[in-house]
Structures are given as structure tokens and as C-alpha cells.
Chain A
Amino acid sequence: MSIMRVRWGPQHPVSGQWAFWLDVDGDIVVNMEPDIGYTHRGIEKVAENRTYIQNVPVVERTSVFDAGNIVFGYVQAVEELMGIEIPERAKYIRTIVGEMSRIVSHLYGLGLLAIAVGFETMLMWFINDRELFLDLFEMLTGARITYSFFIPGGVLHDLPQGFYDEAMRRLDYFERRLKDYWKMFFLNRTFITRTRGVGVLKREDAIRLGVVGPNLRASGVEADVRKDEPYAAYDQIDFIIPTEKEGDAYARGGVRFHELEQSVSIIRQALKKIPDGKIRVKVPITPTPPKGEAYSRVETARGEIGYYIISDGSNRPYRVKISAPSFRNLLAMPFLSRNVPMADIPTIYLSLDLIPLDVDR
């Protein structure tokens, strides 16, 4: 049978804003080439023309699904350039926002994994419970998705009145829901048949391809910036890094699910331990860091993000280089999509939790 070349995207129900070229032999995909660049906005170049604080909403647009953690790395790099140490309370608030952002992003990612195998109910349930945390974001920051809450020097607002009780109430409810999810979703026989053994990424391949984040941990590598190089308040909080050995789509979903549980526990501990004090140190409205360079990395929901910033002593960065997690995970996609059935392509794609926005920047 001759090989048919199919274009999968960008106008396809689940492809997102990019395309794949699939070489299909019958129902088997023999080769796959990603075609990226549909959402390239030149964020790195835009960042060179704005001041350090104006850049916060710009870099947030790298991946709005995980707005908290994306900005986290940028503000840390700027603080390193300026030599600022932020107050303890700000560190805890940042930890809480970062973990809530991780939960929101993972719920979205798991919902998309469910839709890849045609499980609409799970998508709706996950999206529904995402509201719990979006409402908390609204309470804390005034915005639901793109809150631009972190600024060099600390955070914008203190925890509002009643936030502790409201957050605890929602976390209790969410933990009960997580038990249902495990039964409904991860113990569903059809879901297991569709995802077990699909897109197996072995430990050595994962390391060789430079995969990061939950995808790497699902292949049995215990790597997490929050433990390896603790930032913010993560060194004072007790949590574990969930890993799986299998490295298939089910394991990647499972790692995300267990990270949800860990995030809930981290938010609880942080809310209990949070010290009193100031929420930011005084930073001028247009900060001018001295000449130099800084690198900062944080663990986002999709994996490690790196910011490399060079300052030439002016009030604008000379260069901002973003090493985005989805771009690094993208390399695994053609590797895993060789000699698999056509029906497994969406499962592999969405189990890697790739976001075209993040790849193109």
C-alpha cells in the first residue's frame, strides 16, 4: 500500500494552533513531522523593548494556562540581576499561587488527555473543578487567568480577608473530588486499554531527548526543580515528587494526577505556615539593574522553564531567552509517533501536554 501524507492541523478539532505532517501507511503512522510557528509572537524580541516591569504580562503570554509559574521564573531572574531578597511572606504567597496555577494547568491537561480518548465527561468535570481555583485567583488577584501577580520585589497584593477559610473549604471539596476522579478516570477499563502501553518513553530515551517535567518523571527520573534547587518557600514545605516507571500515556496522566494531590498538600502547609510581614520590598517603577546576566529556572506544570536575562545597565533587558518546557517536550513527539496507529496520535500528543503557544513563544 502506498504511503499517504496527511496534514493533521491546524484546522483540526484537537490539533491546536500547529500542524503535523503524518505519513500514514493504512492506519499506521510511519513518520511524523511537527510544523510549528503558527502562534509565534516574538515574545523574546518584544521583551527587549519594554521595561522590566512592563515585561511581566508579556512573558505571561508564553503560556496563559499556567500563568503563575511562567512569570515566576522571570521575576526571579530580574531579582537575581538586581540583587533583591524578597520578604518571607511574599515567598509563601508566591508558592501558593504557583501551586494553584499548577493545579489549574494540570486539570486542563488531564481534561485534554480525556478528550483525546473521547471521554467528554471527564473533560467537563475537570473544567468544572478548575473554576474552584479560578475563583480563588479572582479573590486574590482580581483576574482569573492572566493575573500578572508577581512583580520584581514581591507580589502585588496581600491575601484578602477570608482567603484562608475559603481556600481550605475549596481544598477539602477538591480532595473529595480527586478520589472520584481516580475511580472514574484512572480505573476506567476502557481508558486503561486506550492509554496503557501507548507512547512508551523509556528512561534513557527521555534523558537523551531532554524531556522535562511530568513527562520525565513518568519515565522514572526523579527530577524536579522544586526539590533540586528549592526556590520561594519550597525548602520549608514537606512534599514528595510522584514518579512512575512505565513511561506511557497512562503513567504521564498518573503523574499529573498525583501532583494534584501534592499541590493540595503544599497549599495547605503554606497557608498554615505563612508568616506575617511585608509582601514586597521597595523597587523603583522602572528598575535599572546593573550590568550583568542572570539565569533562573522554576518548575512549571509542563516542566522546567529557564529564563536567561542579560542586562546592559539600561532600564530594558538586552536579551531575554526563554527555554520553554513544551518546546523541549516536543522533541519526544516525532520519536514516539513512529509505527503507532493513527488513533494513538492524539493520545500521545495530549499526554505529553504540549501547548503550541509555549513552543512558538
Chain B
Amino acid sequence: MNIETIIESLVALFINRPFIEMLIKVLIFPGLMFPLLFVVFAVWFERKLLAKVHLRIGPLHVGPGPLGGIFQLIADALKLLQKEIIVPYNAHKILYNILPLAMPMISLAAMAFIPVAPFPSVGPVDYLVVFYTPYNILVVLALFAIHPFLVIGVGWASGSKYTTMGALRAAYQLLAYEVPVMLSAACVVMVTGSFDLIKIVESQANIWYILLLPIAFLVFFVSMMAELGRRPFDIPHAEQEIVYGWATEFTGVHYVCVMFAEYVNLCVASCLVTLLFLGGWLGPVLPPAAWFLIKFGIVVVFFLMGRGVYPRLRIDQLLNAGWRILIPLALIQIFIILVLAKFAPWILPVTFVGG
């Protein structure tokens, strides 16, 4: 075997279409690069947007012209990575070091199951998704549901009073809002008859679910805001009450991981809202990936705007809203779907078997 055949076989192994497609999927678009760039951009955009609402100017330096401040997050992250890792005296050493590192991994894992657009290919239709499974909505929601447990673990392992309080608040809040998220996602699954996000998007070709299932959209959006801990619901982090909640003790790498996980979660949640209710990548003229990014961006702006226009709720008011308003609303939506399926099945995109 001479050297030329080795090179040829290596070329045949790596320089072929499926391998490059896989690389693009894993490393660039729905995979690693997209959430990373999203975090950098979202933090900068949040600062700029809030500055406009606050009648301030916002970040100006570390970046070219109107994009001033866009590299600030990278500079901050590099600075934080150099910092000493301080482990509190009372902390559980092992859990305190492992759990914050697990957070971004789980968030990124959820990102891997989200299809974002059909891949422009000549052969049979392929989708931009890292791991395809027909039950991907279940997997994503299940990965989302791991976060409350990590938060409780972090709060307990830090061994401080404020982190304990923050963790308990987060536990109440995240567990309470898991139910409406599941119920409103169930509405979409019922109408589509499939757990597959690709099928869910394709069934919205005629009408988006935001119009067909407005109550489910409302419940899903509000519950997702609570799951993410965005402003009207940022009770686990309430700075004025419990310093920084369950993440109070973190410095350096741990803090970077926790913040990164929060913004990747925002990315996952915005993807879910876009796919479930806004018709995903469907749209005329523009390429599907562009449509997806436009809708995704609009959803992100709505998530971020909460910080500009709402004060924070109290934990008891929040739980009341969850159990007494959102869950009944989701149940009403399910009831409406059942009534429609019985008496007006032509409205729904998929006819129920035996309906």
C-alpha cells in the first residue's frame, strides 16, 4: 500500500457530502456555533435594547461603530475564566464544582434535538438537526425539566442561606410551571398527531398554531418565561431580596457556565415557540433557514422585553397565577380541541383516528 492510496482513502472518507453535511449540522448551524453566537449576540442585544427603553446609551466600546460593545461578553468571559475559583467553607466541594458545569451541557444537549430548517440538498429532503428522533419534542422538554433539580442541587451544595432560599424559590417556580408547559405542548401534539417537531411544523402549512390555538400559545409563552426566569418571573434571582439567588456564591468559571446555560435555555425556548406556534421555517420567497431566524429573533425580543416593562412578581402571586390561571386555561384549550375534533374536524390539519 503506497502513500497515494492512503491519501485517496482518507479523502474518500472525509471529503464526501454526508460527512461535510454532518460537520455543518454538528458544528455550525443548529449545533455548537449557533448557540454560542446567539449567546454573544443576545447579551449585547439585551443590553442595547434595555438601554433604549431606559433612555440610556448602553455599551459603546469593544466593537466597531453601531455594534459597539458586541465583544464585551467575550472580554468578560475571558476575564472571568482567569479568576480564582472560590469554594465556600460550608459548600459540598464535589457537587459545587460539578453541577454548574453540567448546566450548559444539558442546555446544549437540548439544542441538539431541535430541527431548524430543511437542508438544501438535491436528494431526499434532509433536515438541519444534529440527532433526529421522531419523539424530539419529548426529549427537549425532558431535558428542560432537568434544570430545576440542578438548581436545587447547586443551591444546597453552596451551603449559604441566600442560595438555599433562591434554590427553594426556583424549585417552587420551575416545578409549578413545568405542568402548563407540558399541557400547552400537548395541545399542539394532539392537533398534529405526532411528537415530531418536523411534522408539527409541516402541519402548519395552512394555518399557524398561534392562530388556531391562541390560548395554548399564551400559556406556553408565559410558562416558558417563568421557566427561563425572565423579568416578571425572575424570582429565583431576585437581586433586591436574596442577592443573586441560587447562583450567589459562584465566581469565575462557574459563573460563566451558569450564565451561558441561561442564555442557551433562552435559545432553546425561543426555538420551541417558533417551531410549535409560528410555523417554524415555513414562509414564501426567502430560504427556510432565513424564515426560521427571523421568527426566532422576534420571539427572542419578546422574551427580552419583559425586563424593560414589568416589575417582578412575588412568589405567592406567581404560584397563584400558575396553578389558578395557566393550568385551567391549558385545560380549556384541550377541551376546545376535543370539541372541534368531534364537531368540526375540517378545521384541524390532521383528522383524528376514530374521531
Measured CB to CB, the residues of A under 8 A from B are: 4, 6, 12-14, 24, 27, 114-121, 124-125, 128, 188, 190-191, 193-194, 341-346
Contacts and interface: CB of A to CB of B under 8 A. Distances in A.
Contact of B311 (A12, A190, A345): A190
A78 B131 CA distance: 82
A120 B310 CA distance: 9
Contacts of A341: 314-316
10 contacts: A24-B165, A27-B315, A114-B311, A117-B311, A120-B50, A120-B308, A121-B54, A188-B310, A190-B232, A191-B311
B313 A190 contact: yes
A27 to B, nearest CB: 7
Contacts of B313: 190, 193-194
A115 B315 contact: no
B161 A343 contact: no
A190 B307 CA distance: 13
B53 interface: yes
A119 B311 contact: yes
Interface in B297-311: 307-311
Given A124-B55, A125-B54, A346-B240, A117 B312 contact: yes
Interface string B32-64: 000000000000000000100111100000000
B54 to A, nearest CB: 4
The CB with the most chain A CB atoms within 10 A, among B56, B239, B240, B312, is that of: B240
A190 B314 CA distance: 10
B275 to A, nearest CB: 30
Contacts, number: 77
Nearest to B313: A190
A120 B235 CA distance: 15
Nearest to A190: B311
Contacts of A24: 165
Contacts of A115: 240
B241 interface: yes
Nearest to A194: B311
Contacts of A117: 240, 311-312
A115 B241 CA distance: 11
The CB with the most chain B CB atoms within 10 A, among A188, A342, A345, is that of: A342
B53 A121 contact: yes
Contacts of A6: 161-162, 165
B176 interface: no
A14 B308 contact: no
B234 interface: yes
Contact of A13 (B232, B239, B307): B239
A153 to B, nearest CB: 41
A118 B312 contact: yes
The 5 tightest CB contacts between A and B, nearest first, are A118-B312, A124-B54, A119-B311, A117-B311, A346-B240
B161 A4 contact: yes
Contacts of B240: 13-14, 115-118, 346
Interface in B235-259: 235, 238-243
B54 A346 contact: no
B317 interface: yes
B231 interface: yes
Given A116-B240, A118-B311, A121-B50, 11 more contacts: A4-B161, A14-B240, A27-B168, A115-B240, A118-B234, A118-B239, A119-B312, A125-B54, A190-B313, A193-B317, A346-B241
Contacts of A193: 313-314, 317
B187 to A, nearest CB: 27
Contact of B310 (A13, A125, A190, A342): A190
A6 B308 CA distance: 31
Contacts of B239: 13-14, 118
Contacts of B315: 27, 341, 343
A41 to B, nearest CB: 27
Contacts of A345: 241
Nearest to B164: A4
A277 to B, nearest CB: 41
The CB with the most chain B CB atoms within 10 A, among A4, A190, A194, is that of: A190
Contacts of A191: 311
B50 A343 contact: no
A121 B308 contact: yes
A357 to B, nearest CB: 20
Contacts of B312: 117-119, 190, 194
A13 B243 CA distance: 6
A345 B309 CA distance: 22
Interface in B199-248: 231-232, 234-235, 238-243
B301 to A, nearest CB: 16
Contacts of B56: 124
Nearest to A125: B55
A194 B232 CA distance: 11
B93 to A, nearest CB: 23
A14 B312 CA distance: 15
A137 B155 CA distance: 48
A188 B165 contact: no
B159 to A, nearest CB: 13
A347 to B, nearest CB: 9
Nearest to A185: B311
Given A121-B54, A124-B54, A190-B232, A342 B311 contact: no
Contact of B54 (A120, A188, A194): A120
Contacts of B310: 119, 188, 190
Contacts of A116: 240
Contacts of B238: 118, 343
A273 B347 CA distance: 73
A115 B54 CA distance: 13
Contacts of B54: 120-121, 124-125
B53 A342 contact: no
B47 to A, nearest CB: 12
